[in-house]
Structure 1
Amino acid sequence: MIVRVRFLPDDVIVDAEVGESLLHVADRAGVFIPTGCLMGSCHACTVELEDGETIRACITAIPPRDELTINLFSDPTW
């Protein structure tokens, strides 16, 4: 199943496979998501879904849905 992923605020859109790593999808789209530990513990890769839920991109796979909007924000401590 193909999911259309939109990265805000730059409105970059890329198609991804269900189960594909969100970090891999972002990289393929040319979108930078900062990382630290790559295990979800440091929260450097935290992004926000359109419904306000925050997730860690390094441990999140693309879920089965038609579209997914990711709001990128930077943490000034990283």
Structure 2
Amino acid sequence: MSILIRFLPDDVSVEAEVGEPLLQVADRAGLTIPTGCLMGSCHACEVEVEGGDTICACITAVPSGQPQLTINLFVDSSW
């Protein structure tokens, strides 16, 4: 099952499979999400999903149960 992932602020969309790692989806879309520890501890890969929640992209997969997901790639100036 696939869903449409929309990345902001560049407004890039790509189809992704449920369970696919978000870092892999972003890479396939030609986007880079900064990473640090790759374990979710450092929060370098933190992104905002629609609704305002933040997640660590390095430990998050494409969720099921929705046809589309919007992810805002913001940059933490301290990294």
Taking structure 2 as the reference length, the TM-score comes to 0.97
Match of 1:17 in 2: 17
Cα offset, 1:50, TM superposition: 1.0
CA distance in 2, matches of 1:11, 1:74: 16
The 3-state SS of whatever aligns with 2:43 is: coil
Runs (4+) of structure 1 exceeding 2 A deviation are none
CA distance in 2, matches of 1:63, 1:56: 13
Match of 2:78 in 1: 77
CA distance in 2, matches of 1:42, 1:29: 24
Match of 2:6 in 1: 6
How many residue pairs match? The answer is 78
CA distance in 2, matches of 1:43, 1:56: 6
Cα RMSD of the aligned pairs, angstroms, is 0.4
Cα offset, 1:52, TM superposition: 0.1
Match of 2:29 in 1: 29
Gaps of 5+ in 1: none
Match of 1:68 in 2: 69
Gaps of 5+ in 2: none
